[in-house]
Amino acid sequence: MRRDNTAWGATPAPSLAWSDSGDPFSAQFEDVYYSRENGLAESRHVFLCGNQLPARWQEQQRDCFCVAETGFGTGLNFLLTWQAWRAHAGRSGRLHFISIEKYPLDRHQLATALGAWPELGELAAELLAAWPGRLPGQHRLIFDSGKVILDLWWEDVSVALPDLAAHGQCVDAWYLDGFAPARNPSMWLADTFACMASLSRQGATVATFTAAGAVRRGLEAAGFNMQKVPGYGRKRESLTGAIAVPRQPQTTPETPWDLDATPRGGKPASALIIGAGLAGASLARALAERDIEVTVLERGTIAGEASGNEQGVLYTRLSRRHSALTDFALQSFRYSASFYRQLFAAGQLTPGPDGQLCGSFHQHSDEQELALMGERLRDLPELAQVLQAEKAAAKLGVHPARPGYWYPDSGWLNPPAVCRTLLDTPGVKVIEHCGELSLHSNTEGWQAHDMRGQCVVSADVAIVCAGSHSAALAGLEWLPLQRIRGQTTLLPESSATVGLRAAFCHQGYISPASRGCHCIGASFKLQDSENALRAEEHKENIDKLLAALPQWHDTLSGLETSSLEGRVGFRCASPDYLPIAGAVPQRTHFLQTYAPLRKNARQFIASRGNYVPGLYVNTAHGSRGLTSAPLCAQVIAARICGEAPPLSRELLRALSPARFLVRDLSRNRI
């Protein structure tokens, strides 16, 4: 799917009508969302029983069972599957539920629809709390401490399924839902069934409420053995079936340099991570939740480098047009906000010392842009609103100089506390003060050696999460990493600043005080390796703050900057300011395979990419690691474990380390 440079805005709205009894009805497709006789009983009969669930969960050998659904609708099928999983799957294993929906409901509509099912109230409340609204793209929702993953693809089925099918077999059961074939024929095409076959593992089953002959014949032509079974209620028959012979991954219209020619088989038992900052800690948590034994090696201390600032703001960006940078920023923001909210709710982070999701206001100077985006955000109230300065003051507790965006799910966090919390996960071992390390591979996996050449730890896979030090490891010197100095200033809380109630981003940032100080900043100095505090950068941070909050001038202008405390850190960024997250290409082979791109950047090359077995990198999060690291951890964990990814191929390619080799080849620079 390609969205780059198209207009950004909410997904298309469903055309809803409501019956007298409160049941939703699609006016667009003239069809019901579920049976008016008994929606719960119908879903259980057609989809759970039709796929022999939960009986198959007791017999499965893999630790992850994947259900894929066409048509999320009200989420009823997911909630019933989750309910059954809790009741019958036991403590081991994970449920991965992927659902595709072109016309998602907003939060109010979803709450109204699910209000009809009190027995699902607890699960529905959790779903509603994490609901992404109509924000376009793909959304990963995590429940039950990582045991249940819900991936929502707000796409047309004809776009989403081919995107997923490029990655190969991952689905164990199919729910073919959506509106009836006669009402919505575009969801029931031969290409859809072919993609389903490519995504199906051996033994995958399929169930659907319809018994239409065209659907049965289409599924059989794609490779499913189908049969008619008794339907529910007034429907005499429905269809169930199973894949006969799984298909190979489908060919793609783009050169598949991002797909591994020899993907690893099965989930590894162990992993070593170099780096205990936000990137490494987030990934350690994601792998441990998949029952992988993780060892994290840190050259210094936990969060001792760029992740060590006292406060950081959960930040994103808006744009009137789609781009990889904007789309990833928004989707990672939505995921991370939900991720941290769950940590606070579980008591793993403490409101106050560790942060607070109190919202944030991002001042903006372009009134025309704000007016345009204000209209587009009307359908996305969960994401952001445009506020004039007076209304923003009611949220902030202080009066900003200009209008801007209010992000209700944002806030501030203490990055070291986040890192320690994530690393304090069963299955994660941390070794600090390792000094400089080197990585080596053999037939059994990967080893990390210390400066004396001694093996510190061995594991099946290795992930480099060492910020700007990443380039010194495992032949990654070709990565174009930028090291950017940033100095923060600790501003003592005063009678003027005590009223600040939310995070505030301007040319810098400030959050409500923690431990008697506000952490403000940060400077941005390229090609500057000096690590000493500078009075002039304290002044620069304060001047930016005063430009945004001039009413603080009398309080702050007299501060002696040379006596202020702060911290110098070095952000690691990429040239395009997107993170670098994914498998590491075998550079020599990769360049040989795609050498024709030097002469014709648009040339299609059918070969998949050559990647170093078991080696991954997760770095270049810049100043937004709080926002980007949690979702990048899911991206890499999914690839390591052979799961369906949480993002589109377009965004995965935009994050891939190999993108720089492809760009240099296409520009004949290498």
Which pLDDT score, from 0 to 100, does residue 509 have?
A: 97
Determine contact, residues 355/306, Cβ cutoff 8 Å.
Answer: no
Q: In this model, does residue 313 exceed pLDDT 80?
A: yes
- C-alpha 32/C-alpha 178 separation (Å) is 10
pLDDT-derived band of residue 28, with 50, 70 and 90 as boundaries?
confident
pLDDT in tens, 318-357: 999 999 999 999 999 999 999 999 999 999 999 999 999 9
The mean per-residue pLDDT over the stretch 415-431 comes to 98
Beta strands (DSSP E) in 473-548 are 482-492, 503-505, 509-510, 517-520, 525-526
pLDDT in tens, 619-654: 999 999 999 999 999 999 999 999 999 999 999 999
Residue found by looking up tokens 């969302």 in the block: 33
Sorted by sequence, the CB contacts under 8 Å of residue 454 that are 6+ apart come out as none
- C-alpha 626/C-alpha 653 separation (Å) is 21
User: What are the domain boundaries of the chain?
Assistant: 10-243, 270-306+417-481+575-667, 360-408
Tell me which of 199-213, 261-275, 395-409, 476-490 is least confident: 261-275
Which pLDDT score, from 0 to 100, does residue 91 have?
A: 65
Q: For 270-306+417-481+575-667, give the CATH class.
A: alpha beta
- C-alpha 155/C-alpha 102 separation (Å) is 5
Q: In this model, does residue 399 exceed pLDDT 80?
A: yes
Would you state the structure tokens that stand for residue 364, as one six-digit string? 């903006």
Which pLDDT score, from 0 to 100, does residue 19 have?
A: 83
Q: In this model, does residue 427 exceed pLDDT 70?
A: yes
Distances (CA, A) of 128 to 58, 109, 113, 482: 29, 10, 11, 40
The mean per-residue pLDDT over the stretch 142-158 comes to 96
Q: In this model, does residue 396 exceed pLDDT 70?
A: yes
Q: What is the CATH number of domain 10-243?
A: 3.40.50.150
Which pLDDT score, from 0 to 100, does residue 157 have?
A: 96
Closest CA to 16 of 30, 6, 2: 30
Mean pLDDT, the chain, integer: 95
pLDDT in tens, 185-231: 999 999 999 999 999 999 999 999 999 999 999 999 999 999 999 99
pLDDT-derived band of residue 528, with 50, 70 and 90 as boundaries?
very high
Query: Among residues of the chain, what percentage have pLDDT more than 90?
Result: 89
- C-alpha 608/C-alpha 112 separation (Å) is 47
Which pLDDT score, from 0 to 100, does residue 310 have?
A: 95
Would you state the structure tokens that stand for residue 503, as one six-digit string? 């995070």
Would you state the structure tokens that stand for residue 287, as one six-digit string? 């792998």
Which pLDDT score, from 0 to 100, does residue 656 have?
A: 98
Q: In this model, does residue 610 exceed pLDDT 80?
A: yes
Q: In this model, does residue 1 exceed pLDDT 80?
A: no
Q: In this model, does residue 440 exceed pLDDT 90?
A: yes
Query: Among residues of the chain, what percentage have pLDDT more than 70?
Result: 100
Q: In this model, does residue 133 exceed pLDDT 90?
A: yes
- C-alpha 250/C-alpha 524 separation (Å) is 45
The mean per-residue pLDDT over the stretch 354-382 comes to 96
**178 or 591, greater pLDDT:** 591
Q: In this model, does residue 507 exceed pLDDT 80?
A: yes
pLDDT in tens, 596-608: 999 999 999 999 9
pLDDT-derived band of residue 236, with 50, 70 and 90 as boundaries?
confident
pLDDT-derived band of residue 82, with 50, 70 and 90 as boundaries?
very high
